[in-house]
Amino acid sequence: MPRLNRKKLLVGTANTVIVAAVVFFFLLANRDQSYDRAFDSRVSDPAYRTDGPIVLLDEGHLNSHSTTAGYKPLADLLRNDGYKLRSCSSLSARLI
């Protein structure tokens, strides 16, 4: 079995460290983002007091954001403005 020289060992170690750092920063940058919990979604004069239009939010593709997580401020704002918000999490979801 041939001996591994120091230069090859150093290059291999450096490559491993670089790949590990890139993977770490990629995972760090792509983690779930939190929403602004202090966002005021109150509406003093709603656009629709009754029979507002339906807004369908697609949650059926393993999305990290939903009406209870990342899109919660938007969902609350739509509901407070009189819209009927529905989320679709599968192909068989009812729209109305």
62 vs 80: CA distance, rounded Å = 26
Q: Point out which residues pair with 86 in neighbouring strands.
A: 56
Rounded to an integer, the average pLDDT of 52-62 is 84
User: 65-85, pLDDT tens digit by residue?
Assistant: 788 888 889 999 999 999 999
Range of lowest pLDDT (7-11, 17-21, 22-26, 27-31): 27-31
Number of domains in the chain: 2
Q: What angle do CA 66, 68, 74 make, to 5 degrees?
A: 75
Query: Is there a domain that residue 61 lies in?
Result: yes
What is the domain extent for residue 21?
1-31
What global pTM score does this model have? 0.59
Alpha-carbon separation of residue 63 from 55, 72, 92 (angstroms): 17, 13, 17
Does 95 lie in the same domain as 52? Answer: yes
Query: Is there a domain that residue 88 lies in?
Result: yes
Other C-beta atoms within 10 Å of 10: how many? 10
Residue type, 76: D
